[in-house]
Chains A and B, each alone.
Chain A
Amino acid sequence: MAVIFQKPKALKDTSMHYCPGCTHGIAHRLVAEALDELGIEGRTVGIASVGCSYNSYDYFNCDMIQAPHGRAPAVATGVKRSKPDCVVFTYQGDGDLAAIGTAEIVHAAARGENITVIFINNTIYGMTSGQMAPTTLLNQYTTTTPYGRIADLHGFPINVCEMLATLQGPAYIERASLHDVKNIKKAKEAVKKAFKVQLAGKGFSMVELLSTCPTNWGMSPVDALKRVRDEMIPHYPLGVFKGENLEV
């Protein structure tokens, strides 16, 4: 019987713990497909962070290190600087990367550290049950903004790609979305390009993936995908912020 669809080799044949409708599974798959297609799983070291994907090493087949909250870019730096032949990526959520790990991501980017960052932005803390994230949109309800995110009280959401793109260090920064098939295909190309940038030794690459959290948003999976399209993309526009013409 012909196999027409299967899991990428870089993903383990196991079921994931993510909630129904969560896009982490898609994001994992895109990373794994990139590792497969580039034939680099055997020399890849992934850095898991703190958040829902803390145990992504149970899903990826490559070597993995579990990093303290926010520190994945620093851990990745240590790996890359000691083993430059390894392909190193971090997989971080918005709380990990844009709140507690702000210093680490900014400086890894500023150094042009030759690593790849996969940044999952779902505008909320998932694992700890739905608190405000640095990317939470204004007026969004969370368990710590029960009356909505109010600028005067909670400040404004952070647009990470735009912020990092102001730096000289990064080689490639793109924001993509996982809310429909067309965009998932684009996201796939972005993730793959990010790894290619690293393989070419061009320096820091990051792909932000707009993602869902139906459980903590209190939405059905379908409505959650619509929210990405209707509410998130207007604030977090898709596109390449750095390295548009970079050939790899």
Chain B
Amino acid sequence: MGQKLLMKGNEAIAEAAVRAGCLHYFGYPITPQTEIAHYMARKLPKVGGVFLQAESEVAAINMVYGAGSTGTRVMTSSSSPGISLKQEGLSYLAGSQVPAVVVNIVRGGPGLGGIQPAQSDYFQACKGGGHGDYRQIVLAPSSVQELYELTVEAFNLADRYRIVAMILGDGILGQMMEVVEFRDEEPIEHYEKPWATTGHGGAREQNVITSIHLSPAVLEKMNQNLQAKYEIIKQKECRYELYNHEEAELFIVAYGTVARIAKSVIEMAKREGINVGLIRPVTLWPFPQEAFEKVIDRAKAFLTVEMSSGQMLEDVLLAVNGRRKVYFHGRMGGMVPVRDDIMNIVRDIYKRHVKKAE
């Protein structure tokens, strides 16, 4: 490993993008992710790239669509209300299979909401915030180091599958500083992009980037192709972390910042002789079902903790599929789950499901 820096999460995302070969950024200011734009505005002109502050999030995502159509690595970033505005473009990117990386540093909603951290855009990110049958790869880092590594990875995944890869963070991850250790060389994957619209130069047939297919039969076929691609991604790209899982009988399921808090709860529980494991989905779509299969035989119950009303909870319930009891604790509106509160719930679940059995 190479250089170590103390960096804000937002800056680590921006630096990671540049290292991944993304020299084009289009965005519109919104708290709490604006440092990404500041960093890009300073950095990109010096490395031969383009930073452009668009007139709106709608315009920004369409600039991404244009640049992505030429096969260029490109990124935009925003926070919840801005990501809502980008949904039209995200649907077009999905329909026309243009790769791009989109960052959502989530804040509390609905509406203008607040500017404090939240995880209430899980449905929007994972279940299709725009129209049509489409998916995007959703990566959920939980440290500044991981923001860096997963942002680099997002560009590879986007190119590999001609898909949008979204970094789903929250205000805490964006604003906090941690030490990042940069690699000397990034694992950049290079893909041929024969579909790109860069001018045919008289050397090939016309390329067309489009998502409109007025014939239902053609549109259904296009959708089937998309679904086949999504199936491959589900098979190959699930990522997760299992933490303290080998002896545990209770499991917390959490991602991002909340997974960090869960780890402190696990340490508190250890001191009381309660063994709690953590399932931390790193890809939210595709959702890592496999992690649950690995522990389901030993697990007596699950506790999902989120900064939302229970959005990932629905995927946890599907993964557990009625085999075990699933509990939920959520805070909303920018409030962050408190470790003591989670610990109290853990004690309670322990009494009901583990101690009783003993």
Answer whether A and B touch in the complex at a CB cut-off of 8 Å: yes
Residues of A within 8 A of B68 (CB): 78
A103–B66 contact, CB under 8 A?
Answer: no
Q: CB within 8 A of A65: which of B50, B202, B210?
A: B210
The digit string for B62-98, where 1 denotes a CB below 8 A from any CB of A, is 1111111110101000000000000011001000100
Question: How many Å from the CB of A215 to the closest CB on chain B?
Answer: 18
A78–B206 contact, CB under 8 A?
Answer: no
Residues of A within 8 A of B209 (CB): 64-66
Binds B, one of A41-49, A118-126, A189-197, A204-212: A41-49
The digit string for A27-56, where 1 denotes a CB below 8 A from any CB of B, is 000000000000001111101100000110
Q: Is B233 interfacial (CB 8 A cutoff)?
A: no
A107–B69 contact, CB under 8 A?
Answer: no
Q: Is B320 interfacial (CB 8 A cutoff)?
A: no
Binds B, one of A80-88, A142-150, A174-182, A221-229: A80-88
Binds A, one of B107-115, B193-201, B292-300: B193-201
Q: Is B227 interfacial (CB 8 A cutoff)?
A: no
B69–A78 contact, CB under 8 A?
Answer: yes
B88–A75 contact, CB under 8 A?
Answer: no
What number of A-B contacts does a CB cutoff of 8 Å give?
139
Q: Is A74 interfacial (CB 8 A cutoff)?
A: yes
Q: CB within 8 A of A104: which of B59, B200, B202?
A: B59
Interface majority SS (helix, strand, loop, mixed), chain B:
mixed
Q: Is B357 interfacial (CB 8 A cutoff)?
A: no
- Residue in chain A with minimal CB distance to B88: A68
Q: CB within 8 A of A74: which of B24, B54, B72, B198?
A: B54
Complex alpha-carbon distance, A107 and B63, angstroms: 12
- Residue in chain A with minimal CB distance to B56: A103
Complex alpha-carbon distance, A106 and B54, angstroms: 12
Complex alpha-carbon distance, A82 and B73, angstroms: 9
B52–A81 contact, CB under 8 A?
Answer: yes
Q: Is B212 interfacial (CB 8 A cutoff)?
A: yes
Q: Which of A57-97 contact B (CB under 8 A)?
A: 57, 60-68, 71, 74-83, 85-87
Residues of A within 8 A of B203 (CB): 42
- Residue in chain B with minimal CB distance to A84: B50
Known A-B contacts A67-B62, A79-B69, A81-B63; A57 and B210 likewise in contact (beta carbons under 8 Å): yes
Q: CB within 8 A of A57: which of B59, B64, B70, B206?
A: B206
Q: Is B290 interfacial (CB 8 A cutoff)?
A: no
Q: List 7 A-B contacts (CB under 8 A).
A: A41-B200, A42-B201, A66-B209, A75-B63, A78-B24, A78-B67, A79-B197
For the complex with contacts A62-B206, A64-B207, A104-B58, 5 further pairs of A-B residues with Cβ separation under 8 Å are: A62-B200, A74-B62, A75-B63, A75-B66, A78-B63
